[in-house]
Amino acid sequence: MAPRRPDVDPTAAVKDRSMQRQKELIASYYDRLAAVPETGEKTVATFVPGNLTELLLSFDIVPILPEINALQSGMRQKSAGYINEAERMGHSEDVCTYVKCDVGMLAGGNIGPTGKILPAADMLLLSYTGCFTFMKWFELLREEYKCPTVFLQTPYQARGEVTPEMRQYMIEQLKKVVIPSLEQLTGKKFDIDRLREALTLSARAEDDLVAVLESAKHRPSPIDSYFGGVYYIGPIFTAFRGTQEGCDYYAMLRKEVEQRIADGRGPTTPEGDLEDERFRLVVEGPPNWTNFREFWKMFYDEGAVVVASTYTKVGGLYDRGFRHDPSDPLGTLADYCLGCYTNLSLPKRVELLSDYVNEYEADGFLINSVKSCASFSAGQLLILREVEERTGRAGGFIESDLVDPRYFSGANIKNRIESYLQMVDQKRSAGVTS
Amino acid sequence: MTRTCQEIAAYSERLYYDLEFGSCKAWKEDGGGHCVGYMPVYAPREVIHAAGAMPVGIVGAGDWLEVIRGDAYYQSYLCHIPRSTVDLAVTGRLEFLDGMLFPSTCDVIRNLSGMWQMLRPETYSRYVDVPQNFDPEIGGRFWEHELRELARELGEVTGTEVTDARLRASIKLFDENRAVVNEMYALRRDQPHRAPTSEVYLVLRAGNVVDVETHTALVREYIDTAKATDRPDMDNSRVVIVGTFCEQPPLGLIKSIERSGCFVVDDDMLLVSRWFTADPAPDGDPFGALARAFVDHTVPTAVMYSPTSGRGKALVERVRRARAEGVIFAAPSFCVPALLDQPMLVAELDREGIPYTAFKYSENTGQFGPIREQTGTFADTMKLWSAA
Ligand code: SF4
Ligand code: SF4
CA-nearest residue of chain A to B302? A136
Confirm whether B232 is domain-assigned: no
Has residue A5 got a pLDDT over 60? no
Confirm whether A139 is domain-assigned: yes
Of A191, A221, A236, which closes a domain? A191
- Answer yes or no: do A137 and A223 share one domain: no
Question: Which pLDDT does position B198 carry in this prediction?
Answer: 98
In angstroms, the CA A380 to CA B121 distance is 18
* Residues in CB range of A40: below 8 A, 6 or more apart: none
| Segment A256-268 mean pLDDT | 97
How far, CA to CA in Å, does A162 sit from each of A169, A177, A327, B45, B200?
11, 21, 19, 25, 43
Asked if A128 is an interface residue toward chain B (Cβ–Cβ < 8 A), one would say yes
Residue A403 DSSP label: S
Domain with B38, as residue range(s), is 30-167
Question: Which pLDDT does position A170 carry in this prediction?
Answer: 98
Has residue A102 got a pLDDT over 50? yes
Ligand 1 within 6 A of CB of A101: no
CATH of the domain at A220: 3.40.50.11900
CATH of the domain at A93: 3.40.50.11890
- Answer yes or no: do A220 and A145 share one domain: no
pLDDT digits (tens, 9 = 90+) for B341-379: 999 999 999 999 999 999 999 999 989 999 999 999 999
Confirm whether B37 is domain-assigned: yes
Chains A, B: CB pairs < 8 Å: 161
Confirm whether B294 is domain-assigned: no
Q: Nearest to residue B74, comparing CAs of A154, A76, A7, A379?
A: A379
Has residue A432 got a pLDDT over 60? no
Mean pLDDT (chain A) is: 94
Element (H, E) at A123: strand A123-128
Q: Nearest to residue B215, comparing CAs of B255, B273, B161, B260?
A: B273
Contact A394, A388 (CB under 8 A): yes
- Answer yes or no: do A200 and A187 share one domain: no
Confirm whether B110 is domain-assigned: yes
* Chain B residues with CB-CB distance to A141 below 8 A: none
SS3 A151: strand
Has residue A13 got a pLDDT over 70? no
CATH of the domain at B98: 3.40.50.11890
Confirm whether A83 is domain-assigned: yes
Contact B362, B333 (CB under 8 A): yes
- Answer yes or no: do A290 and A246 share one domain: yes
Has residue A419 got a pLDDT over 50? yes
* Chain B residues with CB-CB distance to A131 below 8 A: 107
Question: Which pLDDT does position A385 carry in this prediction?
Answer: 97
- Answer yes or no: do A132 and A52 share one domain: yes
How far, CA to CA in Å, does A407 sit from each of A79, A394, A416?
13, 25, 15
Complex ipTM > 0.90 = yes
Confirm whether B62 is domain-assigned: yes
- Answer yes or no: do A84 and A137 share one domain: yes
Nearest ligand 2 atom, CA B303: 7
Question: Which pLDDT does position B64 carry in this prediction?
Answer: 83
| CA B340 / ligand 1 centre spacing (Å) | 13
Question: Which pLDDT does position A16 carry in this prediction?
Answer: 85
Question: Which pLDDT does position B1 carry in this prediction?
Answer: 64
pLDDT digits (tens, 9 = 90+) for A305-314: 999 999 999 9
Residue B191 DSSP label: -
- Answer yes or no: do A313 and A379 share one domain: yes
How far, CA to CA in Å, does B272 sit from each of A147, B103, B262, B300?
32, 11, 25, 12
Q: Which of B73, B77, B341 sits opposite A381 (nearest CB)?
A: B73
DSSP-assigned beta bridge partners for residue A73? none
pLDDT digits (tens, 9 = 90+) for B227-249: 999 999 999 999 999 999 999 99
- Answer yes or no: do A284 and A361 share one domain: yes
Confirm whether A8 is domain-assigned: no
Confirm whether A13 is domain-assigned: no
Of A191, A212, A230, which closes a domain? A191
Count of structural domains, chain A: 2
Confirm whether B101 is domain-assigned: yes
In angstroms, the CA A376 to CA A341 distance is 10
Of A191, A216, A242, which closes a domain? A191
**Residue segments in chain B with a per-residue pLDDT below the cut of 50:** none
What single letter denotes the amino acid at residue B92? G
pLDDT digits (tens, 9 = 90+) for A16-49: 899 999 999 999 999 999 999 999 999 999 999 9
Question: Which pLDDT does position A431 carry in this prediction?
Answer: 72
Q: Do B117 and A172 touch (CB under 8 A)?
A: no
Contact B342, B199 (CB under 8 A): no
Confirm whether B338 is domain-assigned: no
- Answer yes or no: do A164 and A204 share one domain: no
Is the pTM higher than 0.90? The answer reads yes
- Answer yes or no: do A182 and A268 share one domain: no
* Chain A residues with CB-CB distance to B118 below 8 A: 346-347, 350, 382, 386
Q: Do B129 and A155 touch (CB under 8 A)?
A: yes
Q: Nearest to residue A61, comparing CAs of A183, A172, A155?
A: A183
How far, CA to CA in Å, does A230 sit from each of A50, A107, A380, A401?
17, 28, 21, 16
Domain with A266, as residue range(s), is 195-429
Has residue A230 got a pLDDT over 90? yes
Residue A301 DSSP label: T
Confirm whether A12 is domain-assigned: no
- Answer yes or no: do A122 and A207 share one domain: no
Contact B102, B126 (CB under 8 A): yes
Question: Which pLDDT does position B346 carry in this prediction?
Answer: 97
In angstroms, the CA A356 to CA A432 distance is 21
Confirm whether A121 is domain-assigned: yes
Confirm whether A19 is domain-assigned: no
- Answer yes or no: do A200 and A182 share one domain: no
How big, in percent rounded to 5, are the helix, strand and coil portions of chain B?
55, 10, 35
Count of structural domains, chain B: 1
| Mutation site, A96, A136, A140, interface B, largest B CB count within 10 A | A136
What single string gives the DSSP state of each residue in A223-284?
S-TTTTHHHHHHHHHTT-TTSHHHHHHHHHHHHHHHHHHHHT---EETTEEB----EEEEEE
